[in-house]
Structure 1
């Protein structure tokens, strides 16, 4: 039985760079081994670690590509809209998916090859198509590499601005959690010992309740700016999440890390926030978590995640605590 959608499939395939060089009869072969599939909002297209055995072309709607960071947030990587093709590299290299994909709304995709069909078998049966597609794929990858190299060489100010957008916290201007995790990963990869200190005010909710969330944002900016001045090193001071502030100290022992954490705690307790409270007495109380590499953790994500949990444990114990991981055990 003839596939009534074959012309529509061929037209969509022809518009993608990978299949644009195929002759009409070759496009029909690819179209005949493709299928349309519809998705509703939130439906999974594929999940991380699934076999990369197909590529996808968006006929309508949108697909979001994302990745779950271990012990961290889900990071949005890319969005694909009408006419975009994705998943082809995994299919050609027979690799498992390194990311997840889901529909952000009602979406229709053209999938090649269709269920029950092997990409390798198709190419073995049609070697001339294989050669054309492979040539297009390699040309596309080479073009992307050349473009990226040109961007780095010719537009270094743009690269610097991109780094600022990626690594700087928009509210406070200091470094953010993305920067922190990369620094932790790098230090662990080269075997550089360090301490990570993460502090959180115990009574920040009371501040927000009494003076409002705008006042809370002002205090966060004060904390960030003053803590950076206190540490004397922009690259050591990070806004991790919400009102949590992090400080990294290279090559320190347990006692030195504790003394530094005590200093951070005292700094927060003594922070002048009278501009927010309009003269009313309100002093921050703070709990602080400390983890050492390699003493406590050797996995970057786990080290950051577990250290961030310690001030929360301290707050639940009444606040004003300084805790190492072994102190946080119930």
Structure 2
């Protein structure tokens, strides 16, 4: 019989449930801070009273959780097999183990974080990733105990604060890239059509050069909040990255998305950024990229990456770039775009 291939760390992490919402580069960070450990049959993984400073994912073998009743026998109250995760609650709450874990046969575990690394250190270094992990842990606990603790319900203040940390851009207060990716994944999973519009100012470097980077940050705030108010729907408006903004339009067709993109471009052109420039006049110009689902890329990351690149092409072509399947003649032209210059409005 052929030897079973071992999981790579990112694959095992993704299958565990705790890390399913992380992007590929984020999984690599978690993998880098994880390590494999081997245990023989009967060997303890951890003992009652030890510090709960890690979580464990079973790559192969089996782990049994045992607890000693105060006046009774040792009870096996949980078993974990390949792909299962355990120990996360103790790591999250930073409490001592209330039970012991033993390998019930030769077992290989992926341990996060690895020896010499603290979860609290990762929290400081990668707060967005850590907040999403904490959110997933809380959701899993909520599922297990079905509302027994109101603190971990989806609509509780704690959960709302975690969601704010995960999905809100710290500079502007509007939704961020993480929110956009998870919303797109859900729409694709639900097979709902949508248009993704990403807009980038053409002359933002000029603003930075003339007025400084603090003015640039202030201008990003004005752009983000102004666009949110212009669209009139907080759930559709996103600061994608840097000075790029995104608008997600569920159920929009090509013509409807194109109309919104034109309106956004005109909005940027009229946007008052004097609060950022110390009262001096500055006119922003912008280019816009549009992609549609399901007409275009199927993979969320590919769809978003393609759309983000379109404003740069649109800038060279004079305004708006539209990723259109009609332009695709062979595999080498998948990223070809139609351009709609200002004179073609």
Q: Is TM > 0.5 for Structure 1 vs Structure 2?
A: yes
* 2:87 corresponds to 1:89: no
* Larger relative helix fraction: 1
Which of these residues, 313, 322, 336, is aligned with residue 329 of structure 1?
Answer: 336
Gaps of 5+ in 2: 1-7, 36-50, 63-80, 86-102, 108-139, 328-334, 338-345
TM superposition score normalised by structure 1 = 0.60
TM superposition score normalised by structure 2 = 0.58
Cα distance change of structure 1 residues 285 and 74 upon mapping to structure 2, 3 Å threshold: farther
Partner of 2:208: 208
> C-alpha distance in 2, partners of 1:210/1:322?
26
Partner of 1:274: 274
Tell me the CA shift for residue 209 of structure 1: 1.4
Partner of 1:265: 265
> C-alpha distance in 2, partners of 1:307/1:291?
6
The aligned runs of 1:244-255 (5 Å cut-off) are 244-255=244-255
> C-alpha distance in 2, partners of 1:179/1:154?
16
Gaps of 5+ in 1: 1-45, 53-64, 98-118, 124-140
Aligned residue pairs total 232
Partner of 1:48: 10
Aligned-partner SS, 1:48: helix
Summarize deviations over 1:90-120 as a string: whole Å, max 9, x none: 34434599xxxxxxxxxxxxxxxxxxxxx88
Cα distance change of structure 1 residues 149 and 285 upon mapping to structure 2, 3 Å threshold: farther
The aligned runs of 1:222-233 (5 Å cut-off) are 222-233=222-233
Cα distance change of structure 1 residues 159 and 67 upon mapping to structure 2, 3 Å threshold: closer
* 2:187 corresponds to 1:187: yes
Tell me the CA shift for residue 263 of structure 1: 0.5
> C-alpha distance in 1, partners of 2:191/2:259?
23
Aligned-partner SS, 1:199: strand
Partner of 2:23: 69
Give the RMSD, CA atoms, in angstroms: 3.7
Q: Is the 8 A contact 1:66 1:76 kept in 2?
A: no
Residues 74-83 or 298-307, more deviating: 74-83
* 2:242 corresponds to 1:242: yes
> C-alpha distance in 2, partners of 1:280/1:256?
35
> C-alpha distance in 2, partners of 1:230/1:182?
23
Larger relative contact order (Cα-Cα within 8 Å, sequence gap ≥ 6): 1
Aligned-partner SS, 1:274: coil
The aligned runs of 1:101-180 (5 Å cut-off) are 122=106, 145-146=144-145, 150=149, 151-153=151-153, 156-180=156-180
